[in-house]
Chain A
Amino acid sequence: MADVRKIRVGIVGCGFIADQHAEQLRYLPSCELVAVCDQEELMAAQLAERFHVPRAYTDISTMLQEAKLDAIHITTPAQTHFALGRQCLEAGCHVYLEKPFTVDTQEAEQLIELAHRKNLHITVGHNLQFSHEALRLRELVRDGFLGGPPVHIECIQCFSHDDPTYGRAVLSDPRHWVRRLPGSLLQNLISHGIAKIAEFLVGDSPAITALTFTSPFLAQRGLTDIVDEVRAMMRDEAGTTAFFLFTTQFGAASNELRLYGPGGNLVLDNTYRTVMPARPCRLKSYLRYFLAPLVQAHELARNSMRNMRLFARRDFQMDYGMRKLMELFYRAIREGGSDPIPADQILRTSRIMDAIFAQMPGRNPA
């Protein structure tokens, strides 16, 4: 095989999520991480040291000039995504932006337009859409399991404030960058769930009615400026309806996507990494109560076996979705194909989020 030059990749922003990017890049043979950048010199140095990256920078302009990069992963606070993304695209680099893509849709549109104009690839870190279970769900939908376009979609996304590196850090610091986003805490979290719904909706801007409020947990601590609960109803141009629930209150955390179609239903569970198909029940009488649960048990067993097989094949990483998304992104760059997340999905996700934040009480200024 001919010696194909590796794609030279850089990371800007050496905080928490950058570690996951650097880790997954190690397993992509077509790429090499050659430079990292952070305004904080020590943070750049620690990432470079631990992942054996040859160059660490504190200034992105210098990195762009010296490191001869083909692609950049932007893992900085969301407020900087637009400016950094534009700078990287202007410098001729493909861009992988961590979620949320930008602070609002206007910025998202400009970035995508610039990438198209410069014939560059751009994507967003909605990696949950590329987990094994998400890929299987997509395959079933493409194979017509739903029997047509979804009639209704439900997405449940749970979050725990107890997470020591994120939840507690955000709550304990009123100046934390997450709390200065227009959608505050929500903006950095709900894009995963919204993106799952946006994939199966059509049209630019679904109609949205959102109820947002502060959980009792935060209210008891006097943190009423933070909204951490969302219930949102949507309806797209084709008449598909959707319900999005984001909560911090469920004891048994659940992260599910449910698709209801005229021919069957599908339930994706990111917590247990399962996809449960439900077909119309043809059983009569009491048999439906005795046999149908067994059919469900059989489906669960198949999910379990599938996960075990993937584990045995060393293909069941915790961050598999991120690795797969990167793999598809770099394949698109190398082979000139389409981006793993279409631009219209990125924009639809952004518009839905904007609409939810616009209905938040006392929303923060951008």
Chain B
Amino acid sequence: MDHWIASRNELILVTGAAGFVGSRVVESLLRSGFRRVRCLVRPARYSSMLDAVLEKYGSAACEIVEGNLLSRRDCEEASNGVGVVYHLVAGRGKSFPACFQGSVITTRNLLDALSARGRLRRFVNVSSFAVYSNWLLPRGAVWDESCPIEDHLEERYDAYTYGKVKQDELVFDYHRKHGVPFVTVRPGIVFGPGKKAIPGFVGVDTFGFFAHLGGGSQLPLTYVDNCADAIVLAGLVSGVEGEVFNVVDDELPTSRQLLREYKRRVRPFLSLPVPYWAAYSLCWLWEWYASRSNGQLPPVFNRRMCAFAWRGHRYSNQKLKDLLGWRCRVPMGEALSRYFDYQKNG
């Protein structure tokens, strides 16, 4: 494509290439005709998902590199000669240091190695919706790239959010100090075959039953293949340096619609609908008690987290379409069918 910054012979690095989204990014690159894709995978994480991609497209265009981004030497080896980097590695879980290490230290090591090479044309920083704060966004308002970043991380008390916010800050810092050319991509809820879970935006089963908290709110879903296409375009389209792109699909279902279909097509189960005001009150109560419980309960349920997941907004992918020319390749109906099929039989 003439408006792309890289030719199909450019060496592309995909970190986290064995992961749920990473393997689809590799697939999207191969489908677009890229012939030199370096896949960085953890030694024991070489996955069936990536295997399936290589089987489908052949492995000639891919170079599998085993390594750990916590190792500077591995970063140097992985970054040798690359022009575009898709950085999908992230720290996950409930541990703050683990998320920080997995998101920030890895990114720092990689950026150091890339800066030293001086050949980088674009660094695609795959961030997350989790970094946003909709605290001041009215219910029902459009949530797009102008939404503020969470600045009350202690109150939000989410390890993944903490790691991702710090990762984004770090990337911007490297851009400012070292001129790293970057684009940030923030996917909503990525779903599809390979991920077995009902999104937390729909509800939680922490207390022994399924509390349906999403009500009639729209869900910021993006099907994994559509999301991968958006990420790939963010690394290729010219003239978008420094931009941020939220990734959500078209025709977004509501939480109620998704749950109803899930029960119909995967398995029936009982769920208790909890209205937003009740969820907010319970989260406020939990937060209040946590601060007085002598450390007995961590504030994992809190008002900011409640607002983030269940307040209910509308979502826009207009910027994605306007600047990157992205189109939703797999329509929502088909995407949900594949998702339900995997949940039932996968």
Interface residues, chain A, with chain B CB atoms under 8 Å away: 14-16, 18-19, 23-24, 26-27, 40, 42-43, 46-47, 50, 164-165, 169, 171-175, 221, 223, 311, 314-317, 319, 323
Residues of A within 8 A of B108 (CB): 42
Q: Interface segment, B90-98, B121-129, B133-141, B263-271?
A: B90-98
- Whether B100 pairs with A314 at a CB distance below 8 angstroms is no
Nearest B-chain residue to A174, judged by Cβ: B43
Nearest-CB residue, chain B, relative to A47: B97
CB distance from B337 to the nearest CB of A (A): 30
| Contacts A14-B97, A46-B166, A175-B68 given; does A27 touch B105 at CB 8 Å | no
Q: Is the CB of A43 within 8 A of B68?
A: no
Contact A314 to B154, CB < 8 A, known contacts A15-B97, A165-B93, A172-B43: no
List 10 interface pairs A-B (beta carbons < 8 Å), by A numbering.
A18-B97, A19-B97, A24-B295, A42-B100, A46-B96, A50-B154, A164-B93, A172-B43, A172-B44, A314-B296
Q: Is B345 an interface residue (CB 8 A)?
A: no
B98 touches A314 (CB 8 A): no
Q: Is the beta-carbon distance between B71 and A175 smaller than 8 angstroms?
A: yes
B44 touches A221 (CB 8 A): yes
Interface core residue of B71, B95, B96, B166 (most chain A CB under 10 Å): B95
On whether the beta carbons of B295 and A172 are closer than 8 Å, the reply is no
B contact face: mostly helix, strand, loop, or mixed:
helix
A233–chain B nearest beta-carbon distance, Å: 33
Q: Which of B100, B162, B166, B295 contacts A26 (CB 8 A)?
A: B295
Residues of A contacting B146 with CB < 8 Å?
none
B295 surroundings in chain A (CB, below 8 A):
23-24, 26-27, 317, 319, 323
Q: In the complex, are the beta carbons of A173 and B43 less than 8 A apart?
A: yes
Inter-chain contact count A-B, CB under 8 Å? 68
Task: Tell me the nearest residue of chain B to A52, going by C-beta.
Answer: B154
Secondary structure of the A contact surface, majority rule? loop
Which residues of the other chain, B, contact A40 by a CB distance below 8 angstroms? Answer: 105
Q: Is the CB of B296 within 8 A of A317?
A: yes
Q: Which of B44, B71, B166, B293 has the most CB of A within 10 A?
A: B44
Establish whether residues A172 and B45, one from each chain, have CB atoms under 8 Å apart when the complex forms: yes
Q: By the criterion CB–CB under 8 Å, are B42 and A16 in contact?
A: no
Give every chain B residue within 8 A of A47 (Cβ-Cβ). 97
Are the CB atoms of A172 and B100 closer together than 8 Å? no
Whether the Cβ atoms of B296 and A311 lie closer than 8 Å is: yes
- A228 to nearest B CB, angstroms? 14
Which residue, of A19, A23, A27, has the highest number of chain B Cβ atoms within 10 A?
A: A19
In the assembled complex, B104 has its CB within 8 A of some CB on chain A: yes
Contact A171 B44, beta carbon cutoff 8 Å: yes
CB distance from B209 to the nearest CB of A (A): 21
Nearest CB in chain B: distance from A14 CB, A: 7
B294 contacts A43, C-beta separation under 8 Å: no
Give every chain A residue within 8 A of B162 (Cβ-Cβ).
50
Question: Of the candidates B68, B100, B101, which one forms a contact with A173 in the assembled complex, judged by CB atoms under 8 Å apart?
Answer: B68
Query: With the chains together, A323 CA to B68 CA distance in Å?
Result: 34
What are the 7 closest A-B residue pairs judged by CB atoms, nearest first? A172-B44, A165-B98, A314-B294, A164-B93, A172-B42, A165-B95, A46-B100
Which one of B43, B44, B101 contacts A15 once the chains associate, using CB atoms below 8 Å?
B101
Residues of the A chain whose Cβ atoms lie less than 8 Å from the Cβ of B96: 19, 46, 50
In the complex, A47→B95 CA distance in Å? 12
A227 to B294, CA, bound (A): 39
The answer to whether residues A43 and B101 also contact, given A165-B93, A317-B295 and a CB cut-off of 8 A, is yes
